[in-house]
Amino acid sequence: MSFWSGQRVVVTGGNGFLGRYVVSRLAERGCATIVAPRSSEYDLRDSAEITRLLTEHAPTLLIHLAAICGGIEANRLRPGTFFYDNAIMGIQLIEQARRARVAKTVVLGTVCAYPKFAPVPFHEADIWNGYPEETNAPYGLAKKMLLVQLQAYRQQYGFNGIYLLPVNLYGPGDNFDLTTSHVIPGMIRKMMEAKAEKRPSITLWGTGSASREFLYVEDCAEGILLATEKYPDAEPVNLGSGREITIRNLAELLRNITGYEGEIQWDSTKPDGQPKRKLDTSRALETFGFRAQTPLEEGLRRTVEWFSLQQGT
């Protein structure tokens, strides 16, 4: 509590899915000032707008969560946007934070930065050992450049910036738009709508053989704040749950939770994405004591219940 009592924190993306949980936890910790700027107020692609943001609010801490992101289809449709917007926002924000002498800057990366065939579980040391999976490489590379920038600025300027690598997030308040959503909200929506309409089957992308690790959004928010408080170093840190599940098994789990009784068909003409994803989370545990608390089944149940309430079902 004493760490946060005098802090002025700017959280970019603070009105987004993850950002709302981070802002809520900051308030619970007694943070003195919390600023969650909207894109309509400050365009983070514009250096002058970033300067105005940092001048007006004079943060002691900057937590950069803002991102243009989505699932495989969104990455396929907008690779240029995903690269440019994420790179330019982060690069300019870090530079202006350096100039404004912000005491600490926390940047959220992405598991998409890892090589397509990184050894499982992914260890932070493997991040440069290959090219990312093609469907989300522009996004992953844009975010990975921010790690390079933070480390270069630390070396040259003594800039205090840290870089966190969360695995796929999910939870209440996620994006359920079928064009831009990630896998869990997309599956939930398809199953809930098919159940309501009594459809005999749904079709999911890929073969179902790829595996993923998922982190409940509230756990991720806690990990970010623990790192902000306690982690001082240049090396990136994974944030994950430590549990890997195939997409096919995830679908069966969600079918049981949603109560959908129809058939699940797989469209193998659509990409699976990265073959496997599971993080080595030992560095987060050892350096700032982070361990995910929410079992996958419980987190999925809460997410389904939230979506059901939003739909009035």
Interatomic CA distance for residues 158 and 163, integer angstroms:
15
Residue-wise pLDDT for 58-84, tens only, equals 999 999 999 988 877 888 888 999 999
121 contacts: CB under 8 Å, gap ≥ 6: 244, 278, 279, 280, 281
What tokens appear for 204 in the block? 């999911």
What dihedral angle (degrees, nearest 10) is formed by the CA atoms of 212, 213, 217, 223? Answer: -140
Mean pLDDT to the nearest integer, 89-100: 98
CB 220 within 8 Å of CB 18: yes
Angle of helix 79-99 relative to helix 137-157, nearest 10 degrees?
A: 10
- Mean pLDDT taken over the chain: 95
Residue-wise pLDDT for 162-211, tens only, equals 999 999 999 999 999 988 888 999 999 999 999 999 999 999 999 999 99
Residue-wise pLDDT for 118-143, tens only, equals 999 999 999 999 999 998 999 999 99
Which residue is listed with tokens 């419980």? 298
Q: Which helix (H) or strand (E) holds 99?
A: helix 79-99
Selected from 3.30.540.10, 3.40.50.720, 3.40.50.2300, 3.40.50.970, the CATH number assigned to the domain covering 8-170+214-243+275-293 reads 3.40.50.720
3-class state of residue 140 by DSSP = helix
Question: What DSSP state is assigned to residue 5?
Answer: T
How many CA atoms does the CB half-sphere of 304 hold within 13 Å? 22
16 contacts: CB under 8 Å, gap ≥ 6: 65, 66
C-alpha dihedral sign at 41, 165, 215, 196: positive
* Active site residues per annotation: 139
CB 65 within 8 Å of CB 225: no
Q: What is the domain partition of the chain in residue ranges?
A: 8-170+214-243+275-293
Residue 1: is its pLDDT beyond 80? no
Residue 97: is its pLDDT beyond 80? yes
3-class state of residue 229 by DSSP = helix
The CA–CA distances, whole Å, from 174 to 165, 188, 276, 284, 285 equal 19, 11, 23, 24, 26
Residue 38: is its pLDDT beyond 80? yes
Residue-wise pLDDT for 271-285, tens only, equals 888 899 999 999 999
Q: Name the pLDDT band for 313 (thresholds 50, 70, 90).
A: low
- Among 47, 60, 56, 61, smallest CA distance to 96 is for 47
What tokens appear for 196 in the block? 């309501």
250 contacts: CB under 8 Å, gap ≥ 6: 183, 184, 187, 212
- Among 270, 213, 212, 276, smallest CA distance to 73 is for 270
Residue 12: is its pLDDT beyond 80? yes
CB 126 within 8 Å of CB 238: no
Residue 304: is its pLDDT beyond 60? yes
Mean pLDDT to the nearest integer, 232-242: 97
Interatomic CA distance for residues 212 and 196, integer angstroms:
28
Cα 309 to chain center, whole Å?
24
